[in-house]
C-alpha cells in the first residue's frame, strides 16, 4: 500500500509539474508500465505458510498473470488513454488486495501457533495455581479466625462510635432547636417592626390631614388679616407650631430610617446564620469531622457573643435616644410656656391698641399731620402684611412639596415591607426543603444500619452451619441476602427519585414562566442557520468535484492562463512539515516493531524455561497486590485531599467571621482580592499583589479611589495595612448601623 501511495504521489507531482508550464505536455507512463511488468512485482519475504493455502496462492498468481496479460494487451488497444488509466488503477488495487491477503494468511498461521503455545502454558499455570490455592485455603481458615476476633473488637468499637454519634446528634438537635427558636423570635420582631411602621404611617396620614386643615385655616386667616391684626398674630404662632411639627416629623423619619437599616443588618446576620446552618448540616454527614464541627460551633458561639455585644451597643443607643426625647419634651414644655407668654403679650398689645384709640378719639386737638402719620403707618402696615402673606403662601407651597416627598417615602417603605415579606416566605420554603433533606439523610442512615446488620449476620455464621453448608449453598445464601438488600436499596432509590421529581415540579411551579416566543424565535433562527450551513457545504463539495473533473479532463487552455508561484508558499511548507512528521512516525513504527519483536523473543524464552509457570503466577500475585496497594493509597490521598479542602474552607470561614474580610486569589499570579463583610455591594473590593521581595502593594480599582483619605492617612503616612483595614472596618460598620446625629 505504501508503494501504491508513493506511485500515486509521483503521478500527481508530475501532473502538477506539467500544469506549471505554459504549453500542455504529454503525460509519460513509462515508469508505471515498468512497474506493472511481471518482473517488477514486489517480492514478499518468505514466511511460514500452511500447505492448505497453496491452492489459493496459485489461483491468485494465475489471476495476477491474467490481469498482467490483459494489461499488456490493453496497452496496444487504441481505445484511449482514459481506459488505460482505469485498467492500471484496477491492476494496482488487485495487487494491493493480493499482498494484503498473503499477509493475512501468514498472520493467521502465526496467531494459531502462538495460541497453541499460550494454551499449553496456561494449562501448566492452572495446575500450579490449583496447588497454590489448596495451600492458600488453609491459610485463609487461620486468617478467618483472626478476622473473627478482629470483628468482635470492631463491633465493640462500632458500638462505642454509635453511642458517641448519638450524643453528638442530641447536641446538634438541641443546637438546631435553639436556632429555630431564634428564628421564630426574629420573625416576631419583624412582625412588631411591621406593626410599628404601619402605626407610624397612620400617624403620618393623620398629621398630613391636620396640616391640610391648618393650611385652610391659615388661608382664611390671611383673607381676614387686614381687619384683624390679632388673628394674624395667632396664625403666625400656628405657623411656628407647624414648623416645629415638621421638624418633629423629620426626626421621626430619621428614626424610621435608622430602624430600617437596623432591620437590614439583622437580615444580613440572619443570612450569615443561614450559611452557618448549611455548613453545619454538611458537617453532620461526615463522622470524622465532628470534632472540627464542634470547634466551628464554638467560634460561632463567639460570633453570637459579639452579636450580643452589638445588641448592648444598640441598647445604649436607644437609651441615648430616650434622653434626647426627654430633652425634646422639655423643649416642648418651654414652647408651651412661650405660647402662654405670647398670649399675655397679645393681651397687653390689645390694651395698648385700646389706649391708642382712646387717645385718638379724645377731645384733644388732633392735628392733620398726626392723622396723616397715622394713615401712613397703617398703609405701611398693610404693605408689610401683603408681603408677609406672599411669603406665607410660598412657605405653604414648600410644606405641600415636603408632604408629597413624605408620601413618596411612605410608598417606598411599604414596598420595602412587601419585599421583606417575600424574603420571609422564601426563608420558610428553604426551611421546608432543609427538613425534607434531613428526612432523606435519616432514611439513608437507617438503610446503612440495615446494611451493617446484614453484613454482621453474613459474617457471624457459626462453624457448624458453615461445615454443614457447601460452598454452593453458602454462595446461594449470600446471593439471596444481597438480593434482598439490593431490592431494599432500589426501593429507597425509587422513593428518593419520586421525592426529587415532586420537589423539581414544585420548584418549576414557583419559578417564573419562560418566554416561549423568544425561545421559539431563537430555535427557528438556529434551524435556518444550520440549513444554510449544510447548503453551503454541499455547494463547496460540488465545486471541488467539478474542479477535479475539469483538471482530469484537461479543460483548461494553458495558453490563456498564467500560473503565479509564491516565493514563500504555505502549501509547500505544510507539505514539507507533514512529510517530516510522516518520516518521524515511520521511524517510530520501525523502532516499536523491533521492540515488539524483542519482547516476543523474551516471552518465548521465558515460556520454554522450566520455572516459567510459577514465576508467572507469582508475577500476577505481585501485580494484584501492588494494584490493591495503589488503590488504597489513592483512596487515602483522596480522603486527605477532601479533609484538607474542608479544613481550608472552615479556616477561611472562621477568618471571615472573626476578621470581617474574605481573601480570594485571582489567577496564577500573586494577586489577591479582599472584600469586607460590611461592604454595600459585591463590587466593593480591594486588589493587592505580592512582589518578589514579599512586599504588599495596593492596586488601583474603582473602590480604592473612593478611599483616598484613608489610604493617604494609613498607607502613605504609616505604611500599615492592618491599621488601614481596621479603620475601614470601623467606617463600614458605622455606615451599616447609621448613627443618628
Letter string b/e over residues 243-279, b meaning 16 or more CB atoms within 10 A of that residue's CB:
eeebeebeeebeebebebebbebebeebebbbebbeb
How far apart CA 120 and CA 97 sit, in angstroms, is 35
Per-residue confidence at 460, pLDDT binned at 50, 70, 90?
Answer: low
369-373, 601-605, 660-664 — which is least confidently predicted? 369-373
Question: Class of 660-737 per CATH?
Answer: alpha beta
Summarize the confidence of residues 170-193 as an average pLDDT: 80
Give the global pTM.
0.23
Q: What DSSP element (H or E) covers 44?
A: none
Three-state DSSP class for 685? strand
Three-state DSSP class for 662? strand
Residue 292 has pLDDT above 70, yes or no: yes
Other C-beta atoms lying within 10 Å of the C-beta of residue 400: 14
Summarize the confidence of residues 224-231 as an average pLDDT: 64
- What per-residue confidence (pLDDT) applies to 558? 55
Other C-beta atoms lying within 10 Å of the C-beta of residue 455: 13
- What per-residue confidence (pLDDT) applies to 609? 58
Question: Distances in Å between the alpha carbon of 32 and those of 29, 40, 61, 85?
Answer: 5, 10, 20, 10
Which has more confidence, 59 or 190? 190
134-138, 627-631, 639-643 — which is least confidently predicted? 134-138
Among 60, 121, 270, residue whose Cα is nearest residue 620: 121
- What per-residue confidence (pLDDT) applies to 52? 44
Per-residue confidence at 80, pLDDT binned at 50, 70, 90?
Answer: low
CB 4 within 8 A of CB 96: yes
How far apart CA 670 and CA 691 sit, in angstroms, is 8
- What per-residue confidence (pLDDT) applies to 467? 47
User: What are the grid coordinates assigned to 562, written together?
Assistant: 498564467
Residues 6+ apart with CB under 8 A from 626: none
pLDDT tens, position by position, 716-725: 777 788 888 8
- What per-residue confidence (pLDDT) applies to 583? 86
Task: For the sheet with 671-676, list strands across it.
Answer: 661-666, 671-676, 685-690, 696-699
- What per-residue confidence (pLDDT) applies to 14? 63
- What per-residue confidence (pLDDT) applies to 230? 65
- What per-residue confidence (pLDDT) applies to 648? 85
Summarize the confidence of residues 361-371 as an average pLDDT: 51
pLDDT tens, position by position, 383-409: 888 878 877 777 877 778 777 877 777
- What per-residue confidence (pLDDT) applies to 187? 81
pLDDT tens, position by position, 683-703: 888 888 887 777 888 888 888
Provide the percentage of residues in the chain whose pLDDT is more than 90. 0
Per-residue confidence at 26, pLDDT binned at 50, 70, 90?
Answer: very low
Tell me the average pLDDT of the chain: 72
Question: Distances in Å between the alpha carbon of 332 and those of 155, 206, 337, 487, 541?
Answer: 80, 20, 9, 81, 95
pLDDT tens, position by position, 88-100: 888 888 888 888 8
Amino acid at each position: 500500500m505504501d508503494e501504491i501511495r508513493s506511485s500515486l504521489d509521483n503521478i500527481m507531482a508530475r501532473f502538477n509539474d506539467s500544469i506549471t508550464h505554459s504549453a500542455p505536455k504529454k503525460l509519460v507512463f513509462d515508469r508505471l508500465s515498468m512497474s506493472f511488468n511481471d518482473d517488477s512485482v514486489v517480492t514478499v519475504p518468505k514466511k511460514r505458510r500452511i500447505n492448505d493455502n497453496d491452492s489459493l496462492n496459485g489461483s491468485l498468481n494465475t489471476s495476477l498473470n491474467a490481469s498482467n496479460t490483459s494489461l499488456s494487451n490493453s496497452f496496444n488497444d487504441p481505445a484511449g488513454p482514459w481506459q488505460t488509466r482505469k485498467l492500471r488503477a484496477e491492476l494496482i488495487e488487485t495487487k494491493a488486495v493480493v499482498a494484503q491477503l498473503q499477509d493475512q494468511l501468514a498472520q493467521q498461521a502465526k496467531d494459531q501457533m502462538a495460541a497453541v503455545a499460550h494454551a499449553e502454558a496456561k494449562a501448566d499455570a492452572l495446575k500450579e495455581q490449583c496447588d497454590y490455592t489448596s495451600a492458600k485455603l488453609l491459610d485463609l481458615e487461620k486468617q478467618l479466625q483472626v478476622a473473627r476476633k478482629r470483628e468482635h473488637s470492631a463491633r465493640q468499637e462500632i458500638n462505642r462510635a454509635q453511642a458517641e454519634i448519638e450524643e453528638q446528634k442530641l447536641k446538634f438537635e438541641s443546637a438546631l432547636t435553639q436556632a429555630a427558636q431564634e428564628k421564630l423570635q426574629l420573625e416576631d420582631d419583624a412582625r412588631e417592626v411591621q406593626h410599628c411602621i404601619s402605626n407610624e404611617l397612620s400617624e403620618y396620614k393623620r398629621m398630613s390631614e391636620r396640616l391640610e386643615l391648618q393650611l385652610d385655616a391659615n388661608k382664611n386667616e390671611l383673607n381676614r388679616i387686614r381687619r384683624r391684626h390679632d388673628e394674624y398674630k395667632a396664625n403666625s404662632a400656628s405657623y411656628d407650631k407647624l414648623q416645629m411639627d415638621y421638624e418633629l416629623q423629620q426626626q421621626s423619619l430619621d428614626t424610621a430610617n435608622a430602624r430600617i437599616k437596623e432591620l437590614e443588618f439583622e437580615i444580613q446576620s440572619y443570612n450569615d446564620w443561614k450559611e452557618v446552618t448549611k455548613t453545619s448540616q454538611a458537617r453532620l454527614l461526615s463522622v470524622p469531622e465532628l470534632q472540627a464541627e464542634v470547634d466551628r460551633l464554638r467560634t460561632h458561639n463567639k460570633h453570637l457573643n459579639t452579636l450580643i455585644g452589638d445588641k448592648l451597643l444598640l441598647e445604649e443607643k436607644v437609651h441615648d435616644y430616650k434622653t434626647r426625647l426627654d430633652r425634646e419634651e422639655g423643649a416642648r414644655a418651654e414652647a408651651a410656656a412661650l405660647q402662654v407668654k405670647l398670649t399675655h403679650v397679645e393681651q397687653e398689645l390689645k390694651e395698648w391698641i385700646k389706649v391708642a384709640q382712646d387717645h385718638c378719639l379724645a377731645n384733644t386737638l388732633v392735628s392733620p399731620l398726626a392723622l396723616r402719620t397715622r394713615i401712613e403707618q397703617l398703609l405701611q402696615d398693610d404693605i408689610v402684611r401683603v408681603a408677609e402673606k406672599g411669603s406665607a403662601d410660598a412657605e405653604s407651597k414648600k410644606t405641600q412639596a415636603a408632604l408629597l416627598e413624605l408620601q413618596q417615602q411612605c410608598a417606598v417603605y411599604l414596598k420595602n415591607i412587601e419585599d421583606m415579606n417575600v424574603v420571609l416566605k422564601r426563608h420558610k420554603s428553604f426551611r421546608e426543603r432543609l427538613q425534607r433533606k434531613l428526612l432523606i439523610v435519616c432514611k439513608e442512615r437507617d438503610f446503612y444500619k440495615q446494611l451493617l446488620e446484614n453484613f454482621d449476620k453474613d459474617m457471624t455464621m457459626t462453624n457448624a452451619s458453615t461445615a454443614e453448608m457447601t460452598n454452593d449453598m453458602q454462595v446461594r445464601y449470600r446471593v439471596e441476602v444481597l438480593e434482598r438488600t439490593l431490592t431494599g436499596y432500589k426501593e429507597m432509590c425509587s422513593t428518593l427519585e419520586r421525592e426529587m421529581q415532586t420537589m423539581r415540579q414544585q420548584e418549576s411551579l414557583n419559578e417564573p414562566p419562560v418566554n416561549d416566543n423568544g425561545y421559539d424565535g431563537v430555535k427557528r433562527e438556529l434551524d435556518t442557520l444550520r440549513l444554510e450551513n449544510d447548503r453551503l457545504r454541499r455547494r463547496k463539495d460540488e465545486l471541488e468535484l467539478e474542479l477535479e473533473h475539469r483538471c482530469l479532463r484537461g479543460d483548461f487552455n494553458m495558453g490563456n492562463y498564467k500560473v503565479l508561484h509564491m516565493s514563500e508558499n504555505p502549501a509547500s511548507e505544510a507539505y514539507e512539515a507533514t512529510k517530516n512528521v510522516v518520516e518521524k512516525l515511520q521511524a517510530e513504527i520501525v523502532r516499536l516493531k523491533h521492540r515488539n519483536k524483542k519482547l516476543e523473543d523474551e516471552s518465548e524464552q521465558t515460556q520454554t524455561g522450566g520455572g516459567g509457570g510459577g514465576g508467572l503466577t507469582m508475577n500476577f500475585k505481585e501485580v494484584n497486590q501492588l494494584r490493591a496497594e495503589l488503590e488504597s493509597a489513592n483512596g487515602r490521598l483522596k480522603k486527605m485531599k477532601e479533609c484538607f479542602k474542608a479544613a481550608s474552607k472552615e479556616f477561611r470561614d472562621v477568618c471571615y467571621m472573626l476578621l470581617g474580610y474574605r481573601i480570594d486569589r485571582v489567577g496564577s499570579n500573586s494577586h489577591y482580592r479582599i472584600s469586607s463583610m460590611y461592604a454595600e455591594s459585591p463590587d466593593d473590593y480591594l486588589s493587592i499583589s505580592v512582589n518578589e521581595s514579599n512586599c504588599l502593594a495596593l492596586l488601583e480599582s474603582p473602590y480604592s479611589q473612593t478611599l483616598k483619605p484613608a489610604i493617604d492617612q494609613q498607607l502613605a503616612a504609616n505604611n500599615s495595612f492592618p491599621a488601614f483595614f481596621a479603620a475601614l472596618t470601623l467606617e463600614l460598620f458605622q455606615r451599616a448601623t447609621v448613627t443618628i446625629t
